[in-house]
Structure 1
Amino acid sequence: MQALNWTPALWLGFEPMDAMNRDFMTLLGRAQEASDGTVVTTWQALVAHAVQHFGAEDAWMRSEAFATAEQHTLEHRVVLNLLREGLGQAQGGDLAPARQMAGELGAWFSRHTQSLDAALALHMRRVTTTTA
């Protein structure tokens, strides 16, 4: 499992995204370390955050007609569906899929942040600088 540590490589320079990404990392870390008795509640918190987090990014991309919005939004949808599936399985008593996903999401998060999120953050910094 990839250790979750905030590093300068994950800093995007657009505080709304940086804050959401730090929160995602914190919640994912809790899900990775959750005891059997807390897997469901930690996973619920992660799913709730992802809904808000991905929704905010998707709204920014729509409002700015962002060039790679379709790919970025699709990735959000896929990951959110997986998170919901993991939650459903955990709620049904099968914790293994959620535990496996929690382990794999760290690597996904790092790649997603350094590629798709980085491009969106750059765009948002430019847009908010020119409209301020």
Structure 2
Amino acid sequence: MTELTWTDALALQLPAMDDTHREFVDLLSIVARAADDTLIAAWAALIDHTDHHFGQEDRWMRETGFSSVNCHTTQHGVVLRVMREGLELGRAGRLDVIRQMAGELAQWFPQHAQTMDAALALHLRSVGFDAASGELARPELLPEAPISGCGSGSCSPAPAGQSG
């Protein structure tokens, strides 16, 4: 199984997000190294963290003008749903499914962090979002319309009358 370790390449220069991502990587590593008798508990702890982690990012997107129906939020929902399905299968004795999912998450996460989360971090920094207080230093820079797609210009739909 592929095991993910934290590197500076995963850092997005947004402390609240980086701390949460580092914790995700640490918990995923615990799952990767877990013995069969501790795997379910380790996976459940990762799911609890991920639920909070994704919920936090989804809330930041809503509060700062990312659409609530963008593909970043959708991806969070799909990944969390699959993780929960894996927990049920694991509880039914299919520990191999959890181990496979952990390997897939180790491959998925860097791509997600370096694309979708990087776009969100850039947006949050640009509007001066303080993750601790939820306050915006530059609310005048909030987008006029919610950002759709993944949050970057490369995957947002073109405005009406323009081709993409």
TM-score of the aligned structures, taking structure 1 as reference length: 0.93
Contact between 1:58 and 1:73, CA under 8 Å: does it hold in 2? yes
Query: Matched residues, percent identical?
Result: 46
Distance 1:69 1:16, change over 3 A: farther
Q: Which moved more, 1:1-10 or 1:72-81?
A: 1-10
Match in the other structure for 1:8: 8
Between structure 1 and structure 2, the one with the greater Rg is: 2
Contact between 2:62 and 2:68, CA under 8 Å: does it hold in 1? no
Match in the other structure for 2:49: 49
The question of 1:131 aligning with 2:129 is answered: no
Match in the other structure for 2:113: 113
Q: How many residues align?
A: 132
Match in the other structure for 1:86: 86
**RCO higher in structure (CA 8 A, sep ≥6):** 1
Structure 1's unaligned 5+ residue stretches are none
- Measure the CA separation in 2 of the matches of 1:52 and 1:36: 25
- Measure the CA separation in 1 of the matches of 2:108 and 2:83: 13
Corresponding residue SS for 1:105: helix
Q: Displacement of 1:13 after TM fit? A: 0.4
Structure (1 or 2) with the greater helix fraction: 1
Contact between 1:10 and 1:113, CA under 8 Å: does it hold in 2? yes
Structure 2's unaligned 5+ residue stretches are 130-135, 139-164
- Measure the CA separation in 2 of the matches of 1:107 and 1:68: 26
What is the RMSD computed on CA atoms of the aligned residues? 1.6
The question of 1:25 aligning with 2:25 is answered: yes
Counterparts of residues 32-71 of structure 1 (less than 5 Å): 32-66=32-66, 70-71=70-71
Q: Displacement of 1:87 after TM fit? A: 0.7
